[in-house]
């Protein structure tokens, strides 16, 4: 089987690594848009257009399912992607893990990009899945960009700033951007006692449910802004990327 993953940048590594943990033989196509990122500040139409371009680049490699491993693209592009590819190619989106966090904890924080924080989309998820929990929306300016560039100092500064905005004693923190899962250890260290909730495992499991479990070769193909490429150097700074590098191809 072959799984295609789409994101603006290396945030897709978390879901890709989760797929690999669940099915070591799955072939992966990683399609991102380094020339156009970040997607967060773009208009919804622009995000949809860029996500479609990435998805078409991934689809050219013949995946059995396409994962939109990006919260922003899932908000703005999922209907367009499903209209373009389904039913022939199933499309799986990413949703912040508010539901499981609020089911288990009374005090929850959602870390997200400034564009997502306070958005109608996120407020709708809170209304639907908040389960009566006290939920604090925490903007994390600069964190996704710092993760994308593997800038440890900038990551530390952005994590510290977001932690300062997070109420003390929260039981759970929802990671509302896929990039944040790559630095979950640093976020956990800044919020001792809080349980982190990401989306990667649930997204990977859903993608695998949508395809027949045929054996693959465990390969990785990388497409950056429409062109075959090696894994970005920044990806290798994270265990999720380093673990995929050994099977990454450039064509």
Beta carbons within 8 Å of 180's beta carbon, 6+ residues apart: 111, 140, 143, 144, 147, 187, 198
**Integer CA distances (angstroms), 100 to 148, 166, 204, 238, in order:** 27, 19, 16, 26
CB 192, CB 168: distance < 8 Å: no
pLDDT at 78 over 80: yes
Whether the pLDDT of residue 250 is over 50: the answer is no
Q: Which residues pair with 66 in a beta bridge?
A: 4, 91
Catalytic-role residue among 67, 70, 133, 146: 70
Query: Using CA atoms, how far apart are residues 160 and 230, in angstroms rounded to an integer?
Result: 32
Give the residue-averaged pLDDT of 121-139. 95
**Average pLDDT value for residue range 140-145:** 95
- Same fold for the domain at 2-94+201-249 and the one at 98-198? yes
Region of poorest pLDDT, from 41-45, 128-132, 192-196: 41-45
Indicate whether 109 pLDDT > 90. Answer: yes
Q: What is the pLDDT of residue 216?
A: 87
Is residue 251 predicted with pLDDT exceeding 50?
no
Cβ(112)–Cβ(137) below 8 Å: yes
Q: How many CB atoms lie within 10 A of CB 204?
A: 26
DSSP 181: G
Residue 70 among the catalytic residues: yes
d(CA 43, CA 65): 26
Looking at residue 220, its pLDDT comes to 95
| C-alpha to C-alpha distance for 65 and 210, rounded to whole angstroms | 7
Peptide bond into 173 cis (omega under 30): no
CATH architecture of 2-94+201-249: 3-Layer(aba) Sandwich (3.40)
Confidence band, pLDDT 50/70/90 cuts, at residue 249: low
Buried b (16+ CB within 10 A) or exposed e, 210-232: bbeeeebeeebbbbbbeeebebb
Output the CA torsion sign for 191, 118, 183, 200.
positive
Spatial contact of 69 and 54, defined as CB atoms under 8 Å apart: no
Q: Which of 5, 170, 177, 203 is catalytic?
A: 177
Long-range pairs of 76-79 with CB within 8 A, sequence gap ≥ 24: 76/44, 76/45, 76/47, 76/48, 76/51, 77/47, 77/48, 77/51, 77/52
Residue with tokens 């929306």: 137
Residue 54: active-site member: no
User: Per-domain residue ranges for the chain?
Assistant: 2-94+201-249, 98-198
CATH topology for 98-198 is: Rossmann fold (3.40.50)
Rounded to an integer, what distance in angstroms lies between the CA atom of residue 38 and that of residue 143? 11
Is the pLDDT at 148 greater than 90? The verdict is: yes
- pLDDT tens sequence across 197-239: 999 999 999 999 999 888 889 999 999 999 999 999 999 999 9
């Amino acid at each position: 089987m072959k799984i295609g993953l789409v994101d603006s940048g290396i945030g897709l590594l978390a879901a890709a690594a989760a797929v690999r943990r669940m099915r070591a033989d799955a072939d992966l196509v990683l399609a991102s848009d380094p020339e156009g990122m970040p997607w967060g500040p773009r208009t919804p139409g622009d995000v949809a257009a860029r996500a479609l371009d990435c998805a078409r680049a991934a689809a050219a490699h013949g995946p059995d399912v396409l994962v939109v491993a990006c919260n922003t693209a899932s908000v703005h592009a999922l209907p367009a992607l499903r209209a373009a590819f389904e039913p022939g190619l199933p499309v799986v989106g990413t949703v912040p893990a508010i539901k499981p966090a609020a089911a288990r904890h009374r005090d929850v924080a959602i870390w997200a990009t400034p564009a997502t924080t306070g958005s109608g989309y996120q407020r709708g998820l809170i209304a639907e899945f908040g389960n009566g929990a006290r939920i604090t929306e925490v903007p994390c300016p600069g964190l996704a960009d710092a993760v994308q560039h593997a800038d440890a100092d900038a990551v530390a500064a952005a994590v510290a700033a977001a932690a300062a905005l997070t109420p003390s004693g929260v039981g759970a923190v929802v990671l509302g951007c896929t990039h944040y899962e790559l630095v979950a250890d640093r976020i956990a260290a800044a919020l001792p006692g809080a349980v982190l909730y990401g989306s990667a495992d649930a997204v990977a499991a859903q993608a695998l449910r949508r395809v027949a479990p045929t054996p693959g070769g465990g390969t990785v193909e990388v497409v950056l802004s429409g062109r075959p490429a090696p894994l970005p150097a920044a990806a290798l700074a994270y265990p999720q990327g380093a673990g995929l590098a050994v099977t990454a191809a450039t064509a």
